[in-house]
Amino acid sequence: MAFLEFNHISKGYPGVQALKDVSFGVTKGAVHGLMGENGAGKSTLIRVLSGDQSADEGAIFIDGVEQKYASVRDAFHAGVIVIHQELQLVPELTVAENLWLGRFPAKGGVISGRLLLETVKQRLDDIGIDVDPNAKVATLSIGERQMVEIAKAVMLDARVIALDEPTSSLSSRESEILFALIDKLKAKGTVILYVSHRLDEIFRLCDSLTVLRDGKLAAHHPAIADVTREQIISEMVGREISDIWNWRARPLGDVRLDVKNLAGASLPTPISFSVRRGEILGFFGLIGAGRSEMARLLYGADHRSQGSVSIDGVAIAPSSPGAAIHAGMVLCPEDRKHDGIIQGRSIEENIAISSRRHFSPFGILSLRKEAALADQFIAKLRVRTPSRKQDIINLSGGNQQKVILGRWLSEQGIKVLVIDEPTRGIDVGAKSEIYEILFELAADGMAIVMISSELPEVMGISDRIIVMCGGSVAATVERSNFNEHSILTAALPDKNAAGNV
């Protein structure tokens, strides 16, 4: 008998039917996978489960009782906790304060700081999470914040926990801690709804699986052992995808981006490399390797203490994103939500914001030209949206990434694209589309620096890979020598000095 049951759930928004007659159940103590392309309806279903949205039709049952939420708080009291991909922590509060937020331990109406810390320390130790309870969340890495969010759910003893792409920001060790936690929760009878695009995790963790496509139930598999990887991908996208990378050789031109002895406070060991016209240079490394720090120094978002960066032989002024853009370099950042999209603004505004100066003579904005620009890149990049006026926060992660790309591609004279974690939290179909865009840009002569923590992705689309470890270059690998074992070995600490492979 199902402990958690979705019964004929439908939900629509203006111009979009997000869910249509979705029904399936999950047994007690099961880990249930939920898969589908971006825009398939997974996030909407999770919002309905969490009480953040109300279904237009249908009902949710937990342990046979219909749930009627008026708010997220109602779902919380029903024992439902959702850990979203975009984390819901308060940056200026400490880890301990975030874990106790809304239910601080008190004696006689006075919050007990000692009890708060002692309890948090004990629970973090119990679940194997090594984070300072006194540290402000703002000082933590994305991976550490994710672990704090997960610890919060464990401390609340929820009956149903939904995890939305929980390992997208975790290291291998942190992921193993999460998997062990899931096993413990499963043994206690907790229902885990596990949303992920990573098939390896789905097969490792899940007992059963539901696939959504275009807001509808594409497939429901009561036993994960009865389904294949190829079958799931076909159910997700409605077509066969034999090679999502689709790498092909292209002619490489002269050096376009030349970096010599680049260093700063966030990356003290100088790094040098070059990228040719039409080349995709991949950067791989484990969490803390210095990949994103390198990108921020390169772009001028962080202060450069030494070194030079030049495009087509012309030097770029240090520590100035404006100078980088003017010279033809743009950055798609690792954290789309905080550093990429402009929340509360439309797709049109997010695309046009950087290019407005080109069609605003005498400081007067041309709304007609802005709309035409947005329509052009929505069509070119195949952004799935009912309107250019749609708030960007309502788009899937893959479509948000396309809008950020559209913003920079609408700039005039872009020669170098730096893209950090291009497909984090993006489904296999949208990944294939992002890769195709990168290949097209490279074929047009753009130099691309692509940073990713997913080794198959780096190997799949790069012409050459630089492996980083501990803030320095550990190896440079030519495509003819790509080997997963040797690249991962180079990325691990406590191995031999840097070299070429």
pTM exceeding 0.95: no
The SS3 of residue 286 is: coil
Give the pLDDT mean for 90-105. 78
Strand partners, 82: 162
Which tokens is 317 given? 């002024």
Give the pLDDT mean for 79-86. 83
Residue 343: pLDDT band with limits 50, 70, 90: confident
Residue 115: pLDDT band with limits 50, 70, 90: low
Residue 496: pLDDT band with limits 50, 70, 90: very low
Contact assessment for residue 133 and residue 123, using Cβ atoms and an 8 Å cutoff: no
pLDDT at position 38 over 80: no
pLDDT value, residue 110: 52
CA separation for the pair 245, 99 (Å, rounded):
40
pLDDT value, residue 478: 96
Domains and CATH numbers, the chain: 2-237 (3.40.50.300), 243-328+413-501 (3.40.50.300), 343-412 (no CATH)
pLDDT in tens, 265-323: 989 999 999 999 999 999 998 767 899 999 999 999 999 999 999 999 999 988 889 89
Q: Which of 130-139, 331-340, 434-443 has the lowest mean pLDDT?
A: 331-340
pLDDT at position 39 over 80: no
Q: What is the mean pLDDT of the chain?
A: 86
Contacts of 109 (CB under 8 A, 6+ apart): none
pLDDT at position 492 over 80: no
Residue 19: pLDDT band with limits 50, 70, 90: very high
pLDDT value, residue 498: 43
Give the pLDDT mean for 160-182. 83
Task: Calculate the alpha carbon distances from 445 to 234, 253, 413 in Å.
Answer: 33, 8, 11
pLDDT value, residue 89: 84
Q: What is the CA radius of gyration of the chain?
A: 24
The total of other beta-carbon atoms located within 10 Å of residue 216's CB is 16
pLDDT value, residue 11: 94
User: Which of 101-115, 409-423, 430-444, 462-476 has the highest average model confidence (pLDDT)?
Assistant: 462-476
54 versus 146: the higher-pLDDT residue is 54
pLDDT value, residue 10: 96
pLDDT value, residue 158: 85
What number of residues does the chain have? 501
pLDDT value, residue 497: 41
pLDDT value, residue 240: 56
Task: Calculate the alpha carbon distances from 125 to 132, 147, 171, 190, 400 in Å.
Answer: 11, 13, 18, 21, 37
User: Which of 134-138, 409-413, 443-447 has the highest average model confidence (pLDDT)?
Assistant: 443-447
Residue 127: pLDDT band with limits 50, 70, 90: confident
Report how far apart the first and last C-alpha atoms of the chain are (Å, whole number).
55
Residue 104: pLDDT band with limits 50, 70, 90: low
pLDDT value, residue 494: 57
